[in-house]
Amino acid sequence: MSPLADLSADRAAAWKTRRAKYGERGHSGAYACHRNVGALRMVINLHREAVLSEGQVAQGTGLDRVEIRRLVHEQGGYVDPPVPETFTAAQPDHHGGGR
């Protein structure tokens, strides 16, 4: 038997052990983590507040729209936009007068 065959058997045994410990990929996920959880939360929150559209979030994160909606739901749903104050005759203008 060649030395390479022995090495292949050792590698196969090592991967079997790693898969038993860490799952099918053989590692705990540090190599395959493509998301920064804090940044994703921030982007989803910007979408919840209607700063970013669903399409912008999908394009920027690579997530599909169903996944984006699931994340929005997990963070408490969409935020109602604040109602802007309207200028009325009873309010003074911002130049010192009170017309």
Residue-wise pLDDT tens digits, 14-55:
888 888 887 776 665 555 455 688 889 999 999 999 999 999
pLDDT value, residue 32: 47
End-to-end Cα, the chain, rounded Å: 99
Q: Name the pTM for this structure.
A: 0.48
The neighbour count for residue 79, using CB atoms within 10 Å, is 13
- How far is the C-alpha of 4 from the C-alpha of 10, rounded, in Å? 10
Query: Is 98 a residue whose pLDDT tops 70?
Result: no
Would you list the domain boundaries of the chain? 1-33, 34-80
Please state whether 62 falls in left (phi above 0), alpha (psi between -120 and 50) or beta: left
What is the DSSP secondary-structure string of 4-61?
HHHHHHHHHHHHHHHHHHH-TTSS-STTT----HHHHHHHHHHHHTTSS-HHHHHHHH
pLDDT value, residue 95: 64
